[in-house]
Structure 1
Amino acid sequence: MSGYFTEKSSTDTVNARIGDDVSPRLREVMESLVRHLHAFAKDVNLTQEEWEVAIDFLTRTGRMCSEERQEFILLSDVLGFSMLVDAINNRRPAGATENTVLGPFHVGGAPERAMGDTIVQDGKGESCLYEGRVLDLDGNPIEGARIDVWCDNADGFYSVQQPDLQPKWNNRGVFTTAADGLYSFRGIKPVSYPIPDDGPVGKMLAALGRHPFRPAHMHFMITAPGFETIVTHTFVDGDPYLASDAVFGVKESLIAEFKPHGGDTDWHCAFDFVMVQTG
């Protein structure tokens, strides 16, 4: 085979330049990337002008990145790529709680709270009692499971987005199960909110006729010795964006029922989490 480039032999020519002593996994990934990238350009007959638009888009995406914002991850999210990578790396048996994306607003070190405590620090929003169990696949309760929870406030912003307006640990907390595997805490009924859409990714969404909204959800990260970590959300049933989540994070099994509660609490959400043993 000639080492010179032609349209027909483009993939083979590029991949043939990879050295002999590179990592086998790097070779596998890059050869596949080149095959799919070249096949895409040939499939759509990509024009020079379209290539220049793509380069400009990627350049502007990079310039939008900072310590506080990662526009490339946002791009991955809205293309469904983040969810695909998460799904590939978190395949679980039937009955186990499904994963979804972590999102950019988790903060480590949230305060440990007693069961039944509130995570609401700003006094805003419709109150909600969250409770349920953490179980294994056989239905046995898991003791010592740490449940890290966080959500937006009633205005649709996370505490880290408004450090000068919200208390530091607003709508955040960590709870640890006892032998009965039960958890219980008070929060708010989350609200839907838009992902940042003032950059190139937002402009791309608009050009595609897509909205930037995420349906209302409560985040959960659940860890327990001997079990796979669960990173997931519970989504508010009836939210208008469930079937069109901008980052494709909704899975049907994660839609939770929010029932009117009465008394000193507006809503009640019961949801059990099922963990898979490691090894």
Structure 2
Amino acid sequence: MTSTQIGDVDTQALTDEVIRSFDGTPDTRTQTILTALVHHLHAFVRDIEPSLAEWESAIEFLTAVGQKCDPVRQEFVLLSDVLGVSMLVETINDQHAPGATDSTVLGPFHMTESPTRHLGDTIDEVGNPNHLLVTGTVRNTNGDLLPHATVDVWQCNEEGFYDVQQPDIQPAGNGRGLFTTDELGRFWFRTVTPSHYPIPTDGPVGTLLDATHRHPYRPAHIHFIAHADQHRPLTTHIFVPGSPYLDSDAVFAVKGSLIGDLGTADAGHAAQFGVGVGSPIATVDLVLAPTPSGSADVL
């Protein structure tokens, strides 16, 4: 256990004084969070006993993380991801959605609005001839299909880049789409098979990875956010089977249940969905948990 006594100074008295300063906080949840934060943060400082130079470096690092953020780049989300905090938050919240599809990280690239698209549209605006057909359903944990649910989709291209990373090459909205399920809770669209890719390393998070000799790569995946009235929103991925880095995702987001299965389009699929015979097909089943009684949907 870390000692709270340093020379003649009892550092616990300082911690207690800071915690007491929150006694008048009107919102009890805010008070709980701040109290726990100070308790654990002070314990961390006692544990590592940083030098003043190390403390200044930490402040400079966090400042640089904030300065790297802009309307299409969220470096703090990226930092949370590579430290496993994002996945820890998702895993804790999954406990409140038994039977639902496993959630996973939002990631740093959901920073622009997906264009509204019709069922069957392609989200590839570059015109790649090699299609991946995605078909899916949205249902609840009772197995009931959910008509008129919204499914927000975004992904990188076949070279591993999102539209916001290549504004001079990819049209804004490429690889993105906002779909609404039909009367039977179904959705389908065409796209390209995404590639594995490195997370951005040109900022302080990249410096952190380099300092710890960690690779920056994520396995290939497609992002989904599903919403339906009176149900908890779901943020998840479908990972491409066989992709490199499934066993060492830089942001710790892979769950076995989210590694998809790829089928192959036959003549019937080709006629119905406008893809070539032999094109890969990904089937997605998004299961939403009900919103707790008396609670509003969390958006």
Band the TM-score falls in, shorter-chain normalisation: 0.7 to 0.9
**Structure 1 gap segments, 5+ residues each:** none
The match for 1:147 is 151
Contact 2:74 2:109 in 1 (8 A): no
Could you tell me which residue of structure 2 aligns to residue 217 of structure 1?
221
* 1:173-184 correspondence to structure 2 within 5 Å: 173-184=177-188
DSSP-derived class of the 1:256 partner: coil
- Report if the CA contact (8 A) 1:259-1:267 is conserved: yes
- Report which stretch shifted further, 147-156 or 10-19: 10-19
Aligned ranges 1:200-215 → 2 under 5 Å: 200-215=204-219
Length, aligned pairs only: 275
1:243 equivalent in structure 2: 247
Q: CA deviation at 1:259?
A: 3.6
Distance in 2 between residues matched to 1:133 and 1:127, nearest whole Å: 20
Give the whole-Å Cα distance in 2 for the aligned partners of 1:40 and 1:177: 48
2:115 alignment counterpart: 110
Q: Deviations over 1:78-134 (max 9, x none)?
A: 1111222333345344431122222232332512213x3322111237421111322
Instruction: Structure 2 unaligned segments of length 5 or more: list them.
Output: 1-7, 267-275, 294-299
Instruction: Identify which of 262, 280, 285 aligns with 1:267.
Output: 280
Q: How does 1:188-207 map to 2 (within 5 A)?
A: 188-207=192-211
In 2, distance between residues paired with 1:220 and 1:227? 15
Question: Match of 1:72?
Answer: 76
User: Alpha carbon RMSD of aligned pairs, Å?
Assistant: 2.4
- % identity of equivalent residues: 46
Per-residue CA deviations over 1:32-73 (Å, capped at 9, x if unaligned) read: 111111211222233333223222322332332333323222
1:138 paired residue among 135, 142, 148: 142
Distance 1:179 1:271 in 2: 17
- Counterparts of 2:279 and 2:173, CA distance in 1: 22
Answer whether contact 2:72 2:164 (CA < 8 A) is retained: no
Contact 1:129 1:265 in 2 (8 A): no
Shifted more, 62-71 versus 161-170: the winner is: 62-71
Q: Provide the rounded CA distance (Å) in 2 between the counterparts of 1:64 and 1:172.
A: 24
Q: TM-score, normalised by structure 1?
A: 0.87
TM-score (norm 2): 0.82
Q: 1:255 is matched with which residue?
A: 259
